Amino acid sequence: MRILITGSSGLVGSALLPALTTAGHSVTRLMRGQPWPDLASHDAVVNLAGDNIGSGRWTPAKKARIRDSRVQLARQLAQSLARLTPPPKVSVSASAIGFYGNRGDEVLREESLPESDFLSSVCREWEAATKPAGEAAGGRVSVPVHGTGRRAEALVAVNAGARYSHGGGNQLDFLHSRECRMKQ
């Protein structure tokens, strides 16, 4: 397959990229500041882009970068994909476990409602931004939820000397970077 990937230098992308190339796929990396390649020449698009939430203090400017780097790119990519005839066979756009917020030991399922905190609102906007691509592809946009964001948030807090707690310790990530390895 010919696969376009954004966010290839991030935690998940850096594991996925070598897995895809080792499996024989042709991968095009869409990097910040570079011109976009011809989207129509790709069979699949994987959008993992987003400003690193684990680096730096969450100032208003940092929060804007976190939100904009996810939502604006997802929207622009989804709108561009929606104009293609035919659209790519597969479109995957990341989200994060932050969608659910800090709910303690509450058991969360796919149908659980989001919280109303900053990360939850970013995730809701991020997922909503993929809708044009999903509608064009007959609803085929996958939005895997992974927990790398909260781990990064915890590292920032701990490195700053603060205590950090997310839930009661019984939470499991839905996607681990080891899962990015492709089975042949």
CATH number for the domain harbouring residue 164: 3.40.50.720
Among residues 157, 174, 155, 181, the alpha carbon closest in space to that of 100 is found at 174
From residue 66, how far is each of 50, 62, 104, 145, 161 by CA, in Å?
6, 6, 24, 17, 23
* pLDDT score for 30: 92
* pLDDT score for 82: 85
* pLDDT score for 138: 57
* pLDDT score for 67: 93
Per-residue pLDDT of the chain (184 residues; tens, 9 = 90+): 899 999 888 877 888 888 889 889 999 999 988 899 999 999 888 888 888 888 888 899 999 999 999 999 989 988 898 888 888 887 888 777 677 777 777 777 777 787 788 888 888 888 888 887 766 665 455 555 444 444 444 434 333 434 334 455 444 444 444 444 443 3
> By the 8 A CB rule, do 79 and 61 touch?
no
Angle at 20 between CA 46 and CA 34, to 5 degrees: 50
* pLDDT score for 101: 74
* pLDDT score for 141: 55
Give the helix/strand (H/E) hosting 5: strand 2-6
The whole domain housing 65 covers 2-180
Buried b (16+ CB within 10 A) or exposed e, 56-84: eeeeeeeeebbbebbbebbbebbebbbeb
Total-model pTM: 0.74
**Number of structural domains the chain divides into:** 1
Amino acid at position 140, single letter: R
